[in-house]
Structure 1
Amino acid sequence: MIDLDRLETRLRADLAAALGVSPDAVYLGEQPQRVQRSGLEVWIEPTGSERPEVDTVLLRYELRLRLKTRPGVRRTGVEPALTLRQQAEALRERYDGTRAFANEVPQVVACALEVLDASAEDTGYEQSVELRVLVQ
């Protein structure tokens, strides 16, 4: 049986390392946190599970990469939406078709990641990806 807490803790740590953000910028929950930080944060939203076979479970998460900006601060340089898209593509390369966390969570059989459409918000930018984790 999968230890869901262990898997989600490992996912949070791996995402923080992959994106170069502090661990407290990656959080899991049903709702986004109301934080007063600027920069990149990752909201991991569990979106369900299913049993494709008797001994396996497919877990679904929506990873929302959110670039938070301070009101009144004008950003220059690279377009934030492009930066988020590049981060999402890097995550796709890291997780899609792999057995992420297999050393720490051996029940992981495979991962798949799909980059979803981007959207703009008043407080920043957001890029979503769907992560599917097949476990035994």
Structure 2
Amino acid sequence: MTALVIERLRKRAQFLAVRNGARAARTTVLVEAKRRSAVGPVGLGLTATKKIGGAVVRNRARRRLREAARRLLPLHGLAGVDYVLVARQSTPEAAWEALLDDLQNALIRLAAALKSGESPPQARAPKRPSRK
């Protein structure tokens, strides 16, 4: 088995594209995924909003998610799929094993949905245009 190449998502448009895909919510992390192509590198984006705390807390959450993704994406990620990991309120202080379990369960569920081509779990309905 060849190792997956992981690329960072850097542009807002890349994050927004993934936002329209599948998602799996767990206690410590929300994972969004969308297939970009059948083959190619895995895209990884990390998000931690000010809702979870100040800069130090957000950075800790992103570091923890980055390391968890580094360990689990090669095992459970799919080539050609972009993933966005969204930190939740419990991400910075959660037990490391709980964070890994939540991320692993979310990745497995999303991989099954993306492989089967079924409607993704917890897919969002398209937003209606605002009335003006």
User: Larger relative contact order (C-alpha < 8 A, sep ≥ 6)?
Assistant: 2
Rg bigger for which structure? 1
Normalised to the residue count of structure 1, the TM-score between the two structures is 0.30
Normalised to the residue count of structure 2, the TM-score between the two structures is 0.31
More helix by share: 2
More strand by share: 1
